Amino acid sequence: MAFVGIGEGGSQVTKKEIVKTISDKTGLTQLDIKKVVQLTFDGIVETLLEEGRVELRDFGVFQVKKRKARKARNPRTGHQVDVPEKLVVTFKPGKLMEAKVQELENSLAALAGQSNFASDGDDNEDEDDSPN
């Protein structure tokens, strides 16, 4: 099930698009689906706050981790600043998601190879035609 907006110039998928796609696929109302999606997101956040980890089989693992304090540089002024330690949420994709993304990467690489092959005619763009 692909959500509207995926692959269209790198556009982002919104919760509204997820709700609409699921509603269209299931025949349930968008209002009911919106409640379920929001409860799912709320449950993930609550569990992260309470347990520090949410594992969704074949999808991935959300985890709260501590990022160490560090020194950084302000790009505008060039001055060094101290960045305090903080908690961050990380995501590690599951094996199934990794495999699907790898399939996508392989498909895109194959398409890129085909388009490069098709354009390798008499263009000679890479050759230097200037006299030595």
Classify residue 103: in a domain, yes or no: no
> What's the domain count of the chain?
1
**Pick from 7-11, 44-48, 52-56, 119-123: least confident:** 119-123
Q: Residues 21-53, buried b or exposed e (16+ Cβ, 10 A)?
A: bbbeeeeeeeeebbeebeeeeeeeeeebeeeee
Confidence of residue 69 (pLDDT cuts 50, 70, 90): very high
In a domain, 32, yes or no: yes
| The pair of three-digit structure tokens given for residue 42, joined into one six-digit string | 């709320």
Residue 114 within any structural domain of the chain: no
- pLDDT score at 113: 81
Q: Which one is predicted more confidently, 49 or 117?
A: 49
With respect to residue 4, please indicate whether it lies within any of the assigned structural domains. yes
- Residue 109 exposed, middle or buried by CB count within 10 Å (0-12, 13-18, 19+): exposed
Q: What is the reported pLDDT for 112?
A: 84
User: What amino acid occupies position 74?
Assistant: N
Give the three-state DSSP class for 30.
helix
Q: Tell me: the pLDDT tens digits for 86-131?
A: 999 999 999 999 999 999 999 998 888 876 655 555 555 554 554 5
For residue 79, tell me if it sits in a domain: no
Q: Domain containing 14: what range?
A: 1-40
Q: Judge whether 46 lies within some domain.
A: no
Q: Which residues fall within 8 angstroms of residue 71, CB to CB, at 6 or more apart?
A: 80, 81, 82, 83
Contact 90/65 with Cβ under 8 angstroms? yes
